[in-house]
Amino acid sequence: MVAGTGVSRGCGVLVHVKDNRVVKVEGDPDHPWNQGRLCSRCLSMTQYMYHPDRLKTPLKRVGRKGEGKFESISWDEAFDLIEEKMKKSGKISVLNQ
Ligand code: SF4
């Protein structure tokens, strides 16, 4: 078992690993922030990691908005697109906790 912080809010998590594979994620009852609770995002972490239908690359919309058409792109291409759109919008940074 490994202790650490969750995805976005820094909730305390306990990660159970068996044979080099995450088998369960649960809230750390001793963490002052979440006191053992986790939202569905962290609770479904094993699906993000291992579900056969999970997204494995960034996707770029190629059809009209809402049409549901996307193509796989590389991470470099995705970051370049994000940078380009941020420059166009005038935003100067991305903040992540
Ligand atoms: S439990 Fe939810 S809010 Fe907390 S770190 Fe995980 S995803 Fe974020």
Residue nearest to ligand 1 atom 1, measured at CA: 38
Q: How far apart are CA 77 and CA 49, in angstroms?
A: 22
Residue 1 alpha carbon to ligand 1 centre in Å: 18
Q: Is the CB of 6 under 6 A from ligand 1?
A: yes
pTM for this prediction: 0.64
Return d(Cα 21, Cα 7) in angstroms, integer. Answer: 18
Question: Is the CB–ligand 1 distance for residue 14 below 6 Å?
Answer: no
What amino acid occupies position 13? V
Rg (CA), the chain: 18
Tell me what pLDDT residue 18 has.
Answer: 96
Query: Residues 63-76, buried b or exposed e (16+ Cβ, 10 A)?
Result: eeeeeeeeeebeee
Over the stretch 5-23, which tens digit does the pLDDT of each residue have? Answer: 666 678 999 999 999 999 9
Q: What is the CA(6)–ligand 1 centre distance, in A?
A: 5
